[in-house]
Amino acid sequence: MSANRKGDRRERELVNRLDDSGFAVMRAPASGSATERELPDVLAGDGDRFYAIEAKSSSGDPIYLTGEEVEALIFFAQNFGAKARIAVRFDREDWYFFHPGDLYTTDGGNYRVKKETALADGVDFEEFVGVSTKTTLDDI
């Protein structure tokens, strides 16, 4: 299966899960190709929270985003009045969400998310949609 088809399938999966969780949600297929401006992959809102989401998936390798992708997401989100989020999904794992400022920045100005970072530090799907909250040992 091509990487693009798999990425499209993952984006649709995220859209459906957000929809099932009560969000009004829209996917921007082939984001960036229909206009000169880069668009986020997904727009989602529930009346209280509004997100512009760049979604990436991987079989297990680290996920990289270019500095331009992240800058375009932040620019769009600010102008739209939404919160910018990066959603990552590794095979056999759930979706994890990050604020762009929480991502590791490479020496070349790009961004990276490793699987272990997503599992340890990412906001999981249930917390993202408000079903649960994360409790750490420091909270106890």
Quick check: is 59 catalytic?
A: no
Which residues contribute to the annotated binding site for Mg(2+)?
11, 41, 54
Q: How far apart are CA 119 and CA 90, in angstroms?
A: 10
Which position among 2, 21, 31, 58 bears the catalytic label? Answer: 31
Q: Whole-angstrom Cα distance, residue 137 to residue 121? A: 13
CATH level 3 topology of 3-139: Trna Endonuclease; Chain: A, domain 1 (3.40.1350)
* pLDDT tens per residue across span 31-68: 445 556 688 999 999 999 999 999 999 988 999 999 99
Tokens 């991502």 map to which residue?
A: 103
Q: How confident is the model at residue 22 (pLDDT cuts 50, 70, 90)?
A: very high
| Binding-site residue set | 11, 41, 54
Q: Contact, 54 vs 28, CB < 8 A?
A: no
Per DSSP, what are the bridge partners of residue 65? 111
User: Could you tell me the CA-to-CA distances from 84 to 54, 91, 107 in Å, in that order?
Assistant: 8, 23, 22
Q: Check residue 32 and give its pLDDT.
A: 47
Mean pLDDT of 129-139: 66
Q: What is the pTM of this model?
A: 0.86
